[in-house]
Amino acid sequence: MAVSITPPVVPEPPEMVLIFRNERPIPIVDLGELFTSLAKDYGRLNKGRILVVSRLETGSVIAHLQEFYNAAVPYVQDSLEYLKAANNLRKFVKTLRGFIGRAKEHPQKSDLFQKKRKPGVISAEKILRIAIDAGGEVEVHQKLPDGEEIEIKVTSLEAVQIREQAKATQYKLPLTPDQKSITSARAIVQSEQISTLQRADYLAKSLVSAARSDSAAIRALVEIIASTLRSSGMVYILEEVASKLDAGGHHELAAEVRASGYKTQRSSEPPLLT
């Protein structure tokens, strides 16, 4: 009588999953720099261990990363090396979560975009830069064999706020404006119910209002508006905003708008006619 042998169930090796829910294409060079930073930081944290991309998916850009040993020998589940690799990956993802989470919750205490470069900082910054430049949001997920799940999520707006707060801290600039001003400006940029000229007019008025109530935060709000416009492909509106500010006698504010990155990236959009 034949004996049926049921093969053992082999769990999936632990992996880190990066999901880019981008609104615009991500340049290959930016992804390359991120993967390079992840590999270097992983090696620094884990005594030279190697991180590899085991799978890429399209749609949204989804990258699956594992330690080299896990990807090369996925079925040796009881190996000491396998367990070591799983713990290394857990430590790395928690390190990234710590840097990004702390920057979101306590931006004044953030390690990101500062002079000190702890292992994991550069990778976290690259994730934020992609969120800013490509729009949308970036997620990092990890599900471990013991059932533990680690998740990091950062939106384009959150990434902009973290970067601007870091500049304010490093160069002793004014702190970022309140959330109400940021939310209002972003809603104006993203609204599909208003014309280009109306959008510029509303943004100019929101800047004037913010300057009256909290002049110390105006530079940061200008940078956030500029970054949000750039992320939405409407950077050309900045000049119209500046013109409206000039017309209202707010010349210093207009100069801030013109200096906020408009000169570094001019859109190919047609002249304002609507």
7 lies in some domain: no
Whether residue 253 sits in one domain with residue 184: yes
pTM: predicted TM-score of the whole model, two decimal places = 0.62
Whether residue 214 sits in one domain with residue 140: no
Domain that holds residue 220: 174-264
Query: Would you give the DSSP letter of residue 68?
Result: H
Q: What is the pLDDT of residue 264?
A: 39
Please give the tally of structural domains in the chain. 2
Whether residue 179 sits in one domain with residue 149: no
Whether residue 164 sits in one domain with residue 179: no
Whether residue 224 sits in one domain with residue 159: no
pLDDT, mean of each 10-residue run, the chain (274 residues): 52 81 88 95 92 85 82 62 83 94 83 85 94 86 78 85 73 54 67 70 74 60 78 81 83 81 44 42
Q: What is the pLDDT of residue 214?
A: 52
Whether residue 178 sits in one domain with residue 212: yes
10 lies in some domain: no
Q: What is the pLDDT of residue 122?
A: 94
Whether residue 252 sits in one domain with residue 162: no
Residue 75 burial (C-beta neighbours within 10 Å; 0-12, 13-18, 19+): exposed
Q: What is the pLDDT of residue 46?
A: 92
- Can you spell out the DSSP letters for 165-199? HHHHHHHTPPPPPPHHHHHHHHHHHH-SSS-HHHH
- Closest of 26, 28, 24, 53 to residue 38, by C-alpha: 53
